[in-house]
């Protein structure tokens, strides 16, 4: 496993981290807790030292599973990042003119932090992230004062923001002020928008970058077909509704053909991870791992060579801007990106 600097914090984190959404057990179909525990142990045994979760994953259950594993492993140095969601009653994401003092009031941030600490069985969070963001939050101060207080108390070590899918650059104002230590963002073979402005800003300001959704909710592993179905309770039933799955599979097969001409022995999943790891701004990539086999396959990319700048440039031909949570591909729409 390769290790990378996590921004300017002096931490060396594994190139592949553990994405813990699915082990929460409420949005990705049935999930066995013991299988989740085995997956976590396998990933940690293979060099992973960074885990990303959220209070909203299984209403805290993902944090509880992680706490169980951390207790079993004793004194291993493992960095844990979690996220605080908007206060109940707000949409996702909040409206652009939302007031941070309403969405993330100080007392709520602090109490949610204490709940995460209890579920994780720890006395501090390495990264405490806002689970969504709007530009207006950059110019408000109460959340900054609250996070600074939590840092001073030793409850958190770093402040993070998980930026919205389609507007990743709206946190740049806080990067410039130095009030955000880490940014979590979607970056994969389809979605390359962070390269335009967010990644250069992170490199300039020494902000750590956590990459989520490297597989586009599983599609870029190449395992789906146009006939794939998802169980009740699996968020991908919505994400890949209508023509979304068929068009995604078609585009993934184009990427596979490109890959096979250059790396015929490389699995699509590892190729997708190697792409996401190839940008120099990236600190760690956090694919989901629901069982030991997935943990073994995903961690293999953590010791692989990055794709060359020339190959990355050629892969721009497959970039595809979309918003499947809110939009569907129209039947018969042009196939161009």
Q: Quick check: pTM over 0.75?
A: yes
Judge whether 90 counts as a catalytic residue.
no
Question: How many other C-beta atoms lie within 10 A of the C-beta of residue 254?
Answer: 12
Q: What token pair was written down for 171?
A: 């946190």
- In the predicted structure, residue 337 carries a pLDDT above the cut 80: no
> Which of 26-35, 191-200, 279-288 shows the lowest mean pLDDT across its residues?
26-35
Q: Cα–Cα–Cα angle for 30, 78, 40, nearest 5°? A: 25
Which is more confidently placed, 331 or 89? 89
Query: What per-residue confidence (pLDDT) applies to 26?
Result: 79
Average pLDDT, the chain: 94
- In the predicted structure, residue 335 carries a pLDDT above the cut 60: no
Query: What per-residue confidence (pLDDT) applies to 333?
Result: 56
- What percent of the chain lies above the pLDDT cut of 70? 98
Strand partners, 44: none
Question: How many other C-beta atoms lie within 10 A of the C-beta of residue 314?
Answer: 13
CB-based contacts of 159, cutoff 8 Å, min separation 6: 127, 128, 129, 147, 151, 179, 180, 181, 182
- In the predicted structure, residue 334 carries a pLDDT above the cut 60: no
Q: What are phi and psi of 54, to 5 degrees?
A: -160, 155
- In the predicted structure, residue 2 carries a pLDDT above the cut 60: yes
Express each pLDDT in 69-89 by its tens digit. Answer: 999 998 789 999 999 999 988
Q: Say which of 3, 57, 90, 128 is annotated catalytic.
A: 57
Mean pLDDT of 301-329: 93
Query: What per-residue confidence (pLDDT) applies to 27?
Result: 76
Q: How far apart are CA 236 and CA 255, in angstroms?
A: 21
Q: Where are the alpha helices (DSSP H) in the chain?
A: 33-45, 61-73, 100-103, 106-120, 142-152, 172-177, 198-205, 236-239, 244-262, 268-277, 292-299, 309-314
Query: What per-residue confidence (pLDDT) applies to 188?
Result: 98
Express each pLDDT in 240-291 by its tens digit. Answer: 999 999 999 999 999 999 999 999 999 999 999 999 999 999 999 999 999 9
Of the candidates 125, 101, 129, 100, the one whose C-alpha atom is nearest the C-alpha of residue 115 is 125
Query: What per-residue confidence (pLDDT) applies to 332?
Result: 57
Express each pLDDT in 196-249 by its tens digit. Answer: 999 999 999 999 999 999 999 999 999 999 999 998 889 999 999 999 999 999
């Amino acid at each position: 496993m390769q290790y990378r600097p996590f921004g300017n914090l002096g931490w060396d984190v594994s190139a592949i981290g553990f994405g813990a959404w699915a082990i929460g057990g409420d949005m990705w179909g049935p999930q066995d807790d013991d299988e989740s525990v085995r997956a976590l142990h396998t990933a940690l045994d293979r060099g992973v030292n960074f885990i990303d979760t959220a209070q909203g994953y299984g209403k805290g259950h993902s944090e509880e599973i992680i706490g169980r594993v951390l207790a079993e492993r004793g004194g291993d140095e493992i960095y844990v990042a979690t996220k605080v969601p908007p206060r109940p009653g707000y949409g996702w994401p909040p409206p652009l003119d939302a007031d941070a003092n309403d969405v993330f009031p100080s007392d709520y941030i602090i109490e949610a932090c204490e709940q995460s600490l209890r579920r994780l069985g720890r006395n501090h969070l390495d990264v405490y992230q806002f689970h969504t963001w709007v530009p207006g939050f950059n110019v408000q101060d109460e959340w900054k004062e609250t996070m600074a207080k939590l840092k001073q108390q030793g409850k958190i070590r770093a402040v993070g923001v998980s930026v919205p899918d389609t507007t990743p650059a709206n946190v740049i104002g806080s990067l410039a002020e130095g009030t955000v230590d880490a940014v979590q963002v979607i970056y994969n073979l389809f979605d390359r928008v962070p390269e335009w402005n967010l990644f250069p800003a992170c490199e300039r300001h020494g902000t750590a970058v956590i990459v989520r959704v490297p597989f586009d909710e599983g599609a870029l592993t190449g395992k789906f077909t146009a006939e794939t179905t998802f169980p009740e309770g699996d968020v991908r039933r919505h994400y890949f509704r209508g023509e979304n799955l068929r068009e995604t599979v078609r585009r993934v097969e184009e990427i596979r053909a490109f890959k096979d001409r250059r790396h015929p022995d490389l699995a699509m999943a590892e190729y997708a991870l190697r792409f996401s790891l190839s940008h120099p701004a990236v600190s760690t990539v956090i694919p989901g791992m629901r069982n030991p086999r997935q943990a073994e396959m995903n961690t293999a990319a953590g010791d692989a060579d990055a794709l060359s700048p020339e190959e990355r440039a050629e892969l721009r031909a497959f970039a595809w801007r979309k918003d499947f949570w809110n939009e569907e591909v129209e039947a018969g729409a042009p196939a161009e990106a």
